[in-house]
Amino acid sequence: TQPINVEVTQGAAPVVPQQSAPSNPTEPTSDEFNGQEIYIEAEVDNPNPYVGEQITHTFRFYRSINLYGQPSYEGPDFSGFWNESETQQSDYDINIDNRLYRVVELTTVLFPTSAGEHVIDAAALTIPGSLFTRDTSLTTSQIPVNVQPLPVPSPDSFHGAVGQFSIAASLDADQVKVNEPVTLSVDVSGRGNFSNLPDPEMPVLNNWRAFETTSTINSQLFDGEYEGNKVIEQLMVPGNAGEFMVPAISYTYFDPETNDYQTVSSEPMTVFVSEGVAAGLVPGLSVDPNESWIVENVSSDIRHIKDVPESLESAEKPLITSWVYWSLWLLPIGAVAVDYAWRRRQRYRTENPDLVRSSRAQKKAFGVLAK
């Protein structure tokens, strides 16, 4: 083929998503640190959280020397916790006892799922050695976490939301006609685990049809905490005219900072429904209830590919009822038998070279005599 020329220009280095360096670099918190060249530790910011309350697991790797290769990190599996996102990394320098350390900090956001004593397994770090040294393996200590149950009794309107939230509601139209749809949107925003956030109880209006709700979640990690919102939308169709009041929508959550249940509510809304075309009627067509109508089928809106059969049974016999299908199963067995016979013959010829030579000489002699 023709050669292809590729011109490569200078570009930017690959960008690795990292957090900004913390304003207050953290020194080792364990008494086991005494100026080692390499050191690791792990901790949680809150060892006594409530069920569903956010905690942060932090792993730190300190080094004051250059390494020959890239270390390999193996984190805990965090059994008993909901892991919301990938681990975030930040790098910074810190001076400890007149020695400069390079620190790699890995943080993971967790949400405990059940009350009781939980243990976060140890994290491990493997540092590759040089040509003359072996690999170095380091492990942290296990971290006990005592998860507290939520206070009882809880309000009847509480369905499991933990964090700090606010709620707002809106309609895409405040003036509609009968049988015209209107969309009710409820926005729950704040801080917490939005992936497991329960929906608020939607209002029920008399003689209105309500369809299934759909939700959209938008959350992100900001300053170490999950913030965002969850928008719940419901399609509603009024069945008669009039002025209707959409009541305030309440939302109850548990606030770990105040150790209490809080309830927030949206503002009530008014929607005006005017007379419209009744469902199933054609606009502009006057119907006299005393007049009889003859309905004639003009055409069909479905064109069948094939005529509908009288019976729904398959006309073709199943493949497994054919003798050809079962005879094909004998082919692998026959292939194995042929392969076995061939290997046995080759092994026999290898183990008896004299007989092979004699057989060949005899065949050659008969051939000469035949000529």
Q: Cα–Cα distance between 223 and 18 in angstroms, integer?
A: 13
**0.75 surpassed by pTM:** no
pLDDT above 50: residue 16: no
Identify the pLDDT of residue 185: 96
Identity of the amino acid at 155: P
Residue 69's pLDDT band, with cuts at 50, 70 and 90, is confident
Residue 246 has pLDDT above 50, yes or no: yes
Alpha-carbon span 344 to 346, nearest angstrom: 5
For residue 260, pLDDT beyond 90: yes
| pLDDT tops 50 at residue 61 | yes
Q: What is the pLDDT of residue 49?
A: 95
For position 296, what pLDDT does the model report?
74
pLDDT band of 304, cuts 50, 70, 90? low
**CB-count exposure of residue 254 (10 Å: 0-12, 13-18, 19+):** buried
Write the pLDDT tens digit of every residue in 160-218: 999 999 999 999 999 999 999 999 999 999 999 998 899 999 999 988 999 999 999 99
pLDDT tens digits along 340-358: 998 888 888 788 888 878 8
pLDDT tens for each residue of 84-129: 767 888 899 999 888 899 999 999 999 999 999 999 999 999 988 8
**Cβ atoms of 167 and 186 closer than 8 Å:** yes
pLDDT at 288: 61
Per the model's pLDDT, the better-predicted residue between 243 and 67 turns out to be 243
- Does residue 231 have a pLDDT over 90? yes
